[in-house]
Amino acid sequence: MRKSPALLDHVVLLLPYADLVELPKWVLDRFTITSGGKHSDGKTENRLVLFRDGTYLELIAFIRDDPAKRKGHRWDKDFGIVDYALTTRIDFEYATLQERMKASGSGINYAEPVEGGRMRPDKGEVKWKVTMPQGIEHGAVPFWCHDLTPRERRVPAFDGNTYHPCGAVGVADILVDLGEKDFERVCLALPAVANLPEVGDAAYTVSTPFEIGRPEEPRIKLRKRGSEEEQKLRLTLQIQCPGRGDQPDIAETIGDGTVLINFVNGKKHDKDEGKSQSPDKGKGKEMEMEKEKAIEKGKKKDNYLDVVLARDKRSNDAA
């Protein structure tokens, strides 16, 4: 399958400032938190949930929930998943992006890159450029984020901070629910954003910064919302938790918004239609036992997901 040069960089979760300062139980019980910092525009502050595939979930809030800081900001939205970003390892060609977007006929384009940054708690400075979409609501298509300082300053994935109580290893999917008019436009735009290969009905694959041996790449999945009451943009994050996909999903209502995060095994995209497609439990258990035996005896080359499945099974047996 043809791969896009685009990499999934991060997903943005907007929270109230009080929740960012003192994270709620539904966050702390599931994730290991890494410090972020205040952004250079003085409007927002963040903390991070870093994953082993090199992506991360950005927990962001407007400082002290100041309405003046919210006004006119691209994320002046209801609380929840509000946006997601791509990046590249190769040089980013803005002019080429604009040519692709114009040829798509979607009416969506991108503004010129703008510098941003923040100070880390250790006083280290982080700098980047963001390239934001125009002509559609933010979050309907991804923005671009490219580092001006080494990426590991912005995404310090080490010292055990990628290990999470929920078993998360990375992003499985981003589900983008759109009204009918925007759905048609984004279907035209998304392949042009980064030459993303289509793998199904309005589903597009994207790579991640680190390879972790999973059988399927993450997807951006577009879905058309049905009724007139459901024309509002809605984003759902699906997180890959090998062997732990049956744990409760997150549907946390905050004000007028809802945080939607699903947990999936990652062997297939099993919740993209809003329902969990459970495999045969007996066969799944038998397969996991066979994998564990093979790993222990050295008869099978280690695959990251298989190792995690075997580890989690041993933990469950001991519990």
Q: Which of 1, 11, 5 is nearest to 206 (CA)?
A: 5
**Last residue in a domain, options 253, 273, 293:** 273
Q: Which of 29, 142, 140, 41 is nearest to 86 (CA)?
A: 142
Domain match, 211 and 250 both: yes
What CATH number corresponds to the domain at position 232?
Answer: 3.10.180.10
Give pLDDT, residue 124.
Answer: 87
Domain match, 168 and 247 both: yes
Domain residues for the domain of 173 are 1-273
**Helix (H) or strand (E) segment spanning residue 222:** strand 219-224
Domain match, 145 and 248 both: yes
- Distance CA(81)–CA(58), nearest Å, equals 10
Higher pLDDT, 32 or 297: 32
- Distance CA(238)–CA(245), nearest Å, equals 10
* Mean pLDDT along residues 15-27: 98
16 pLDDT above the threshold of 90:
yes
Domain match, 166 and 229 both: yes
Domain match, 187 and 303 both: no
If one counts every other C-beta atom within 10 angstroms of the C-beta of residue 18, the result is 12
Domain match, 188 and 54 both: yes
Domain match, 257 and 312 both: no
Domain match, 175 and 290 both: no
Give pLDDT, residue 291.
Answer: 35
Domain match, 103 and 145 both: yes
Give pLDDT, residue 197.
Answer: 76
pLDDT tens-digit readout, 214-271? 878 899 999 998 766 567 899 999 999 998 878 999 999 999 999 999 999 865 555 5
Distances (CA, A) of 114 to 78, 92, 253: 24, 13, 33
253: exposed, middle or buried (C-beta count within 10 Å: 0-12, 13-18, 19+)?
Answer: exposed
Q: Dihedral (C-alpha) 65, 66, 72, 74: value to the nearest 10 degrees?
A: -20
**What is the reported pTM?**
0.83
Domain match, 183 and 267 both: yes
Identity of the amino acid at 226: G
Residue 6 forms beta bridges with which residues? 88
Domain match, 87 and 177 both: yes
Domain match, 64 and 180 both: yes
Split into its structural domains, the chain has a count of 2
Give pLDDT, residue 245.
Answer: 79
**Helix (H) or strand (E) segment spanning residue 307:** helix 304-318
- Judge whether 285 and 246 are in contact, CB under 8 Å: no
Give pLDDT, residue 224.
Answer: 92
Rounded mean pLDDT of the chain? Answer: 84
